[in-house]
């Protein structure tokens, strides 16, 4: 898994509307909370997504964009996003290429992993967290790091 201090690899994936999204589009504009999760509409992933949703305004106040990535297809992302009224971008990584670029480990070598990266405006990873079993800690920890980044810039 990529470590803090590492430049975040750029990538291009499709969002739930089928539009291309590139990480570099946000560079020098916003901090990014990039989170990888195993599957739409499963218990842990739904709890994590809804927690990001419920804290979304706070992430925005800290100048951050929240981006969720899984191997689910665009239709699945669209359905998941609508069902839970998710205000952030979900990206489809069907072959797991971006997850591999970031070194997101698979659980038991099979199940896509759960990892969160906080990337600052300059494109540097400031925080990396990997835990399949604690989806809500990803949200809490990402917020804490963003608060530190905000206070460092004041």
- Give me the CATH number covering residue 63: 3.40.30.10
The CA distance from 71 to 88, in Å, is 17
Q: Give the chain's mean pLDDT.
A: 92
Structure tokens at 103: 């070194």
Catalytic residues: 45
Domain for residue 3, yes or no?
Answer: no
Task: Write the DSSP assignment of 57-96 as a string of letters.
Answer: HHHHHTTEEEEEEES--HHHHHHHHHHTT--SEEEE-TT-
Q: Which residues contact 57 (CB under 8 A, 6 or more apart)?
A: none
pLDDT of 98-153, one tens digit each? 999 999 988 777 788 899 999 999 999 999 998 766 767 878 889 989 888 877 76
Q: Is the pLDDT of residue 21 over 90?
A: yes
What pLDDT does 153 receive? 64
Domain for residue 86, yes or no?
Answer: yes
Inter-residue contact 87 to 109 (CB < 8 Å): no
Q: Report the DSSP pairing between strands 12-15 and 20-22.
A: antiparallel
Domain for residue 24, yes or no?
Answer: no
Domain for residue 5, yes or no?
Answer: no
pTM, two decimals, is 0.92
Residue ranges making up the domain that contains 53 = 12-17+32-152
**Count of domains observed in the chain:** 1
pLDDT of 45-59, one tens digit each? 999 999 999 999 999
The CA distance from 118 to 35, in Å, is 9
């Amino acid at each position: 898994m990529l470590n803090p201090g590492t430049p975040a690899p750029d990538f291009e994936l499709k969002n739930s509307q089928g539009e291309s999204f590139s990480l570099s589009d946000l560079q020098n504009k916003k901090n990014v909370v990039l989170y990888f999760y195993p599957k739409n509409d499963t218990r842990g992933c739904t709890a994590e997504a809804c927690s990001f949703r419920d804290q979304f305004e706070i992430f925005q106040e800290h100048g951050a964009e929240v981006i969720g990535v899984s191997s689910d297809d665009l239709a699945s992302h669209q359905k998941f996003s609508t069902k839970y009224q998710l205000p952030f971008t979900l990206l489809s990584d069907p072959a797991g290429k971006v997850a591999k670029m970031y070194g997101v480990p698979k659980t038991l070598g099979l199940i896509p992993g759960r990892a969160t990266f906080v990337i600052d405006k300059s494109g540097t990873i400031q925080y990396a967290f990997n835990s399949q079993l604690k989806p809500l800690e990803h949200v809490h920890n990402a917020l804490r790091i963003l608060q530190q980044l905000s206070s460092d810039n004041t």
